[in-house]
Chains A and B, each alone.
Chain A
Amino acid sequence: MKVIYVDNNATTMVAPEVLDAMMPYFSEFYGNPSSMHSFGGDVASKINAARENVARLIGAAPDEIVFTSCGTESDGTAIRAAIESYPAKKHIVTSRVEHPAIKNLFETLSKKGYRTSFVPVDSKGKLDLDYLYDSLSEDTAVVSLMWGNNETGVIFPVEEISREIKGRGILFHTDAVQAAGKIPIDVNQTGVDMLSLSGHKFHAPKGIGALYIRKGTKFSPFMIGGHQEKGRRGGTENTASIIGLGKAAQLAAAHLQENGYDRVSRLRDKLERTLLENVPNAIINGDPANRLPNTTSIAFEYVEGEAILLMMNEHGICASSGSACTSGSLEPSHVLRAMGVPFTAAHGSIRFSLSRYNTEDEIDVILEKLPPIIKRLRELSPFWKQAMGT
């Protein structure tokens, strides 16, 4: 059965060009970039070329990029560096809809005595900016807000927030794991102090990420060790993956340059529009006017998400759900709950996240298979007929 992969916010296919670029660094060029011989030194220069590509993707200078093992490490490094740099400050700020890498870190810090503000969002997932600005004080060490939401795709106004925060002695970190490679990012125009990204969300392999640290930002490393990454992240470089990330960044930048995401968002819009036309009681979660181009979260009322996913799975369609049952927890996703999505809808929410590798044919298969699945599950559901008043 052919797989139709529309779960690209979970992870993506490694681009063939990326894999090709990486392969020699597993076999032929296995030198240690720190070595004092050209066999290793040549690898170091390739790593720097990769660093330039990653920097270019977000408008940074190469030495502002530190390679890490993943988005979670980047997030953790940024937040811990921020609070260690300002030990007297005991207040940290984030939103209620962050990825667990930030959410759980902030909850842990809260237990360790940090005063933590979780800024709410409205029903469309838009950040309550007044609440955010009101929460800031001289005691605030860091504000961390995601650029694009992994579940709904909703984009936070990072640039506007950054302008407001600037000059107040507060560090601003953004988790751009879902945004990087999908929308244009310019760290200088935006003015963020730190930014996290992850390779496997834009066709590099899993296990490689990066942290942007603005020049002049106080910093202390999380992984203490050798002089790698200029002492900002110890440990021998994951050379092949770094080369892969560099290639993926180059491809993503080119794709953005060519407005390649216009095609992705057209496919997304077709999927969304047609589903809404053909399936009654389907609702978009989030702010359609302000989203990542590849993401849609659709709530199918009165049915349960896991059941939808497993029935789609029978047709090779891979998506994900904000429902409780899929996560092993009993409550629907914290993102949908923070948005106040009613239970009738939250449990039946499905996220489709596309990539440049999806085709119109694949979207058509989903459009053919999904409406009967929803219909079938609603026939099983005791609430559907009640809701329809029959």
Chain B
Amino acid sequence: MWEYTDKVREHFLNPRNVGVIEDADGVGEVGSIACGDALTFYFKLDESGKIKDATFQTFGCASAIASSSALTEMVKGMTLEEAEKITNEDIAEFLGGLPKEKMHCSVMGRDALEKAISCYRGEPEKKVEGEIVCECFGVTDREIERVVRENQLTTIDDVTDYVKAGGGCTNCHDRIQEIIDSILGTERPVKQKTPALTNLQKIKLIEESIEREINPTLKKDAGKLELIDVDGNRVLVRLGGTCASCAKSPVTLKHYVESRLRELVSPEIVVEEVQ
């Protein structure tokens, strides 16, 4: 049995705003009887452009009915600009959460709301955007991309839970995986590869790093670092100012100077002091 929150149960057993608005300003229909759930959402605006009334009719399971009921409650009093910012997560959150496998019910709510707003604005009925990936539930690559991005989904099961794609014959699983991979691949923060430096570039970078980063910090303690030579990854330095007589200078050298240069120049850097 599903673990529904009390709020889901409550909205399922006593759904708010059931019915049709005959002279609705916007109507959005999503889903189908074949898919196992469907929702028709209606709204009516007042003179100031705020949603005065919202109703629904839903064929579906408890969470589909509860999500629809929640949506109608959430949008009342909102302007369309406010309403269109509602995400499927917002609907799920309003209900205190939905079982993961039922998240598609919240997506259905969001889709119906969007359709109803487009309908009001007289935007042409959007043709199916993208290519159908899941034949069983008629889900396109665009829809899958969107839900993966918006909900940070990472697996095929996630996608099935949110938009049903892949929940039937499973033939499209490879394609769904490709879509997930391409999104994770492009949107994952790409690790910056440090290009190999020439000796000259490396020496310049070390010089710059000491001047801009390291000496200003040491200066606070009236210390100073002088670059003597660079031999491969060995950086030979002389400590000046207070550093020269400071008992902690070997620590400063290893823990601060070396680690900064490793970060800024190359992980192979070894710092050595020359007297």
Contacts and interface: CB of A to CB of B under 8 A. Distances in A.
A323 B64 CA distance: 14
A330 B164 contact: yes
A344 B33 contact: yes
- Which of B33, B160, B168: most chain A CB closer than 10 A? B33
Interface of A: 302-307, 310-311, 314, 323-326, 328-332, 343-344, 347, 379-383
B95 to A, nearest CB: 15
Contacts of A381: 57-59
Contacts, number: 72
B34 interface: yes
Contacts of B61: 304-307, 323, 325-326
A312 B167 CA distance: 27
A380 B18 contact: yes
B62 A310 contact: yes
Interface of B: 2, 9, 12-13, 15, 18, 29, 33-40, 57-62, 64-65, 101, 136-137, 160, 164, 167-168
Nearest to B136: A331
How would you classify the secondary structure of chain B's contact residues: helix, strand, loop or mixed?
mixed
Nearest to A347: B36
Contact of B160 (A330, A344, A382): A330
Given A331-B136, A331-B168, A383-B38, A347 B62 contact: no
A307 B40 contact: no
A332 B167 CA distance: 11
Contacts of B101: 328
> What 4 A-B pairs are tightest by C-beta distance, nearest first?
A330-B167, A325-B61, A306-B61, A382-B57
Contacts of A380: 15, 18, 57-59, 65
Contacts of B40: 382
Contacts of B12: 307, 310
Contact of B58 (A311, A347, A382): A382
A331 B60 contact: no
Contacts of B164: 330
Given A302-B59, A304-B64, 13 more contacts: A304-B36, A304-B37, A304-B60, A306-B61, A307-B60, A329-B167, A330-B36, A330-B137, A330-B160, A330-B164, A347-B33, A381-B58, A382-B29
Contacts of A343: 33-34, 36
A329 B157 CA distance: 11
A305 B36 CA distance: 10
A321 to B, nearest CB: 10
B33 A383 contact: yes
A331 B35 CA distance: 8
